[in-house]
C-alpha cells in the first residue's frame, strides 16, 4: 500500500538507516494514527526481528509470544522463561544473522509487554546498553499507543535508559491536505467542504478514514459508521481510552469535563467539575492527554497570571460527547439533522479546532510564515464604564506577531460565501474595540475571516482585512 503524507517521518527514517551507528527510535502517537503501518510499509515488512505485545496479556503469554517470534526469525526452539532469557536469545539470533546494512528490530506495542513484576524494562535496558548500542548495525524501533508509558519509561527515563533514545517520531493525524490525498487514493472524490466536515467528525485518523465506503455519501457514511447499531466504530470510545491510559476512568472524566466547555477550563476548574484532587496526579493526567493529542493547552492573551487553560482537541471525543454518548442512536440521524441547532453549534466549535490545527496554513496565506508568532484566545466578561455597560465577548484565535501586528481571527463554518450584515459588522467592531481597550495593546489590529467559501462581497465585507478559505487550509504544510 502507498504511504500517504509522512514526508518528515520518512526523511528521518532514511537518516537513521544510513548512519554508521546503532539507533534506538521511539515511534509514538494517538491510537489508530498509523504508527505500525508506517514502519511496516517503510521497511516492506523486512525485519531482522519483529514482535507485537499482547493487550492485557500475562507475563507468561508475553514471553511465549516473544519466543514464537524468535522461532519464526531465528529458528529458536526453546521458549524463554524470563525476559533476560528472551533478550539473550534475541542477541544470539542477531549475532548469527548475516546481512548487509542495519538489522531492523521492531518491537510493536511495547508498553503491553511490561506486566507487573515482570522485569521487562530492566532486561530491555541490558539488551540495549550491553549489546545493541555497541554493535553499530542495529536499528531498534519501539512503538506503542500508550504514549504516557513510552514517555515515562523510555523518553524521560531517569535510570538505565536515561538519554539512550537516539530519535523519536511523534505521528500526528493527517492534515486536511493529507486527508484529501488519502481519500483520492481510495477513489473517494468529495468536495473540500465535505472533507472539512468529515475532519470535524473523526479528525485525520487513518484507521477511521479507512472505514469509509466510496459508494455512499458523507452523511450516509457517518450514519453507517457511528449511528448504525453495531456500526464499524460503534464501541470505539470504550476501547480508545482503555488502551491508552492505565487510569482510564480519570482521563475520561477530564475529557468529559472539557467537552462541556467550549473555551476550555483551568486545572482548578477541572478539579471542581470532576471531583479529582487538584494535585500532581491531575497535572499528570492533563500531561498525558496533551501528550497524546487529546487536549491542547494555552494561556489567554494578556493573562498576567499565565494560568494555563486546557481545551479538548480530539475530534472523535468531542463528537462522541455531543452526539453518541447516551443517545438512542437513530440510524439516520446525520442525514436528517442538517439544520439541527445542536449540530450547528458543534460545527461552529469543531471548525475553530480545524483552524487551530492548521495554523501554519493560515500563516502561509497571511504571508507571515517566517514571522515569530504566539497563538492564544481572549475572553472578556464585560464591564461598566461611566454608566455604559459593555457586554462580554470572546475571540477564539489571536495571532500575536513579532512585527507588531495582531490578527484577530473570526471562524465560521458556512455552506456558502459568508455575508457580513450590519448587525454582525457592529458586533465585530465592538469585539475589536473592547479587545484594544482591555488589553491596551499598541499593535495594529487586523481582522482575518476564515470560512470554507470566504466572504461574499458587500457593504460590510471590507471589515475583514484578510480572508482564508478552504483552498488555503488544504495547502501543504511540509
pLDDT in tens, 390-417: 677 889 999 999 999 999 999 999 999 9
Asked whether residue 384 carries a pLDDT value surpassing 70, the answer given is: no
**What mean pLDDT is reported for the chain?**
92
Topology, domain 365-473: Trna Endonuclease; Chain: A, domain 1 (3.40.1350)
pLDDT of residue 386: 44
Which grid coordinates are listed for 9?
517521518
Start-end ranges of CATH 3.40.1350 in the chain?
365-473
CA atoms within 13 A on the CB side of 376: 17
Which grid coordinates are listed for 423?
448587525
**What is the pLDDT confidence band of residue 31, given thresholds at 50, 70 and 90?**
confident
CA distance linking residue 183 with residue 218, whole number of Å? 12
Q: What percentage of the chain carries pLDDT values higher than 90? A: 77
CB distance 134 to 99 below 8 Å: no
CB distance 422 to 361 below 8 Å: no
Question: Residue 205 burial (CB < 10 Å; 0-12/13-18/19+)?
Answer: buried
CATH 1.10.3720.10 is right for the domain spanning 237-324: no
Topology, domain 7-171: Rossmann fold (3.40.50)
CA distance linking residue 189 with residue 195, whole number of Å? 9
Asked whether residue 463 carries a pLDDT value surpassing 80, the answer given is: yes
Tell me the pTM.
0.92
Q: What percentage of the chain carries pLDDT values higher than 70? A: 97
Q: Tell me which residue has cell 473555551.
A: 263
**What is the pLDDT confidence band of residue 22, given thresholds at 50, 70 and 90?**
very high
Cite the DSSP H helix spans in 75-119.
83-96
Asked whether residue 328 carries a pLDDT value surpassing 50, the answer given is: yes
pLDDT of residue 262: 85
CA distance linking residue 315 with residue 238, whole number of Å? 16
Which helix (H) or strand (E) segment is 177 a member of?
helix 176-185
pLDDT of residue 243: 81
CA distance linking residue 359 with residue 375, whole number of Å? 9
The model's pLDDT over 88-147, given as tens digits with 9 standing for 90+, comes to 999 999 999 988 899 999 999 999 999 988 999 999 999 999 999 999 999 999 998 888
Strands 444-450 and 405-411: parallel
Interhelix angle 267-274/280-291, rounded to 10 degrees, is 100
pLDDT of residue 305: 63
CA distance linking residue 104 with residue 279, whole number of Å? 42
Asked whether residue 418 carries a pLDDT value surpassing 90, the answer given is: yes
Start-end ranges of CATH 3.40.50.300 in the chain?
7-171
Among 16-20, 288-292, 381-385, top mean pLDDT goes to 16-20
Least confident of 172-176, 315-319, 383-387: 383-387
β-partners of residue 393 are: 380
pLDDT of residue 387: 47
CA distance linking residue 400 with residue 301, whole number of Å? 9
CB distance 309 to 266 below 8 Å: yes
The model's pLDDT over 148-196, given as tens digits with 9 standing for 90+, comes to 888 889 998 888 888 899 999 999 999 999 999 999 999 999 999 999 9
CA distance linking residue 420 with residue 434, whole number of Å? 19
CA atoms within 13 A on the CB side of 264: 26
Count of helix runs (H) and strand runs (E) in the chain: 20, 15
Start-end ranges of CATH 1.10.10.10 in the chain?
237-324
Name, in order, each residue with C-beta under 8 angstroms of 471's C-beta and a sequence gap of 6 or more.
192
pLDDT of residue 2: 83
Amino acid at each position: 500500500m502507498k504511504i500517504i503524507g509522512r514526508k518528515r517521518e520518512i526523511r528521518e527514517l532514511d537518516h537513521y538507516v544510513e548512519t554508521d551507528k546503532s539507533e534506538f527510535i521511539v515511534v509514538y502517537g494517538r491510537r489508530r494514527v498509523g504508527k505500525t503501518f508506517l514502519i511496516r510499509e517503510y521497511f516492506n515488512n523486512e525485519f531482522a526481528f519483529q514482535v507485537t505485545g499482547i493487550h492485557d496479556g500475562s507475563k507468561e503469554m508475553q514471553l511465549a509470544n516473544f519466543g514464537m517470534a524468535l522461532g519464526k526469525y531465528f529458528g529458536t526452539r526453546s521458549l524463554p522463561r524470563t525476559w533476560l532469557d528472551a533478550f539473550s536469545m534475541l542477541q544470539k539470533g542477531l549475532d548469527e544473522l548475516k546481512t548487509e546494512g542495519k538489522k531492523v528490530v521492531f518491537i510493536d506495542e511495547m508498553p503491553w509487554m511490561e506486566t507487573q513484576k515482570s522485569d521487562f524494562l530492566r532486561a530491555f535496558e541490558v539488551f540495549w546498553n550491553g549489546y545493541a548500542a555497541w554493535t553499530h548495525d542495529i536499528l531498534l524501533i519501539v512503538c506503542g499507543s500508550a504514549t504516557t508509558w513510552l514517555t515515562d519509561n523510555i523518553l524521560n527515563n531517569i535510570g538505565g535508559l536515561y538519554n539512550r533514545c537516539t530519535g523519536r517520531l511523534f505521528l500526528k493525524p493527517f492534515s486536511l491536505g493529507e486527508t484529501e490525498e488519502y481519500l483520492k487514493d481510495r477513489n473517494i472524490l468529495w468536495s473540500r467542504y465535505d472533507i472539512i466536515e468529515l475532519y470535524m467528525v473523526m479528525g485525520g485518523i487513518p484507521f477511521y478514514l479507512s472505514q469509509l465506503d466510496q459508494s455512499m455519501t458523507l452523511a450516509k457514511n457517518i450514519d453507517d459508521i457511528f449511528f448504525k447499531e453495531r456500526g464499524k466504530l460503534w464501541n470505539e470510545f470504550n476501547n480508545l481510552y482503555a488502551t491508552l491510559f492505565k487510569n482510564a476512568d480519570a482521563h475520561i472524566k477530564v475529557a468529559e469535563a472539557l467537552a462541556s466547555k467550549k473555551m476550555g477550563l483551568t486545572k482548578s476548574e477541572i478539579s471542581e467539575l470532576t471531583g479529582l484532587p487538584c494535585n500532581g496526579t491531575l497535572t499528570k493526567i492533563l500531561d498525558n492527554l496533551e501528550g497524546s493529542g487529546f487536549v491542547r493547552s494555552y494561556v489567554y492573551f494578556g493573562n498576567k497570571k499565565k494560568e494555563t487553560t486546557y481545551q479538548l482537541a480530539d475530534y472523535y471525543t468531542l463528537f462522541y460527547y455531543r452526539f453518541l454518548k447516551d443517545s438512542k442512536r437513530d440510524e439516520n440521524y446525520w442525514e436528517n439533522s442538517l439544520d439541527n441547532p445542536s449540530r450547528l453549534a458543534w460545527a461552529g466549535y469543531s471548525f475553530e479546532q480545524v483552524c487551530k490545527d492548521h495554523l501554519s496554513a493560515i500563516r502561509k496565506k497571511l504571508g507571515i510564515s517566517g514571522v515569530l508568532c504566539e497563538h492564544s484566545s481572549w475572553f472578556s466578561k464585560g464591564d461598566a464604564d461611566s454608566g455604559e455597560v459593555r457586554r462580554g465577548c470572546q475571540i477564539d484565535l489571536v495571532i500575536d506577531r513579532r512585527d507588531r501586528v495582531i490578527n484577530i481571527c473570526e471562524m465560521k463554518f458556512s455552506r456558502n460565501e459568508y455575508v457580513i450584515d450590519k448587525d454582525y459588522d457592529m458586533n465585530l467592531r465592538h469585539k475589536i474595540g473592547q479587545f484594544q481597550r482591555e488589553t491596551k495593546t499598541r499593535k495594529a489590529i487586523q481582522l482575518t475571516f476564515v470560512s470554507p467559501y470566504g466572504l461574499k462581497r458587500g457593504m460590510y465585507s471590507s471589515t475583514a482585512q484578510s480572508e482564508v478559505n478552504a483552498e488555503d487550509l488544504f495547502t501543504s504544510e511540509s
